[in-house]
């Protein structure tokens, strides 16, 4: 009797495992990553390869005036209406390339843009300080 019960439990377990495995196999594995935190080399390569990228410097206007990546626009992360500026000036369906001085503000800005519906965001990992070396 115990042996029959063991066989029944084993059979049910195997069927359950097989069903679970089949579900995992049929589930799509496409990445839905919106924010890409990239190093300087990848950031530069992405700028070269993407036709419609939007380069955004989220530092203060004073920092921006001291030097910036070519073709960047300045949108100060610390402005109270940063999110509104981004939505008003940028295309949500085109890649956005973000950077700040060291990577902290741009990482926070990337999260804000993601919440606003931007679909492809590249954040320069160590900021402008790594770019100008």
100 as an active site residue: the answer is yes
What are the b/e assignments for 53-85, b being 16+ CB within 10 Å? Answer: bbbbbbbbeebbeeebbeebeebbbeeeebeee
User: At what angle are helices 82-89 and 104-115 packed, to 10 degrees?
Assistant: 60
Nearest to 99 by CA among 88, 119, 113: 113
Question: Among 58, 86, 100, 124, which one carries the catalytic annotation?
Answer: 100
As annotated, the active-site residues are: 100
């Amino acid at each position: 009797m115990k042996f029959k019960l063991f066989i029944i439990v084993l059979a049910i377990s195997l069927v359950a495992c097989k069903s679970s495995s089949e579900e995992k196999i049929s589930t799509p594995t496409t990445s839905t990553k919106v924010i890409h935190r990239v190093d300087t080399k990848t950031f530069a390569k992405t700028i070269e390869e993407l036709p419609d990228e939007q380069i955004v410097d989220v530092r203060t206007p004073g920092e921006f005036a001291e030097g910036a990546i070519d073709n960047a626009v300045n949108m100060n992360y610390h402005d109270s209406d940063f999110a509104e500026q981004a939505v008003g000036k940028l295309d949500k369906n085109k890649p956005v390339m973000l950077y700040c001085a060291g990577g902290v503000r741009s990482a926070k800005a990337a999260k804000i843009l993601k919440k606003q519906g931007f679909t492809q965001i590249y954040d320069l990992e160590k900021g402008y300080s790594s770019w100008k070396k």
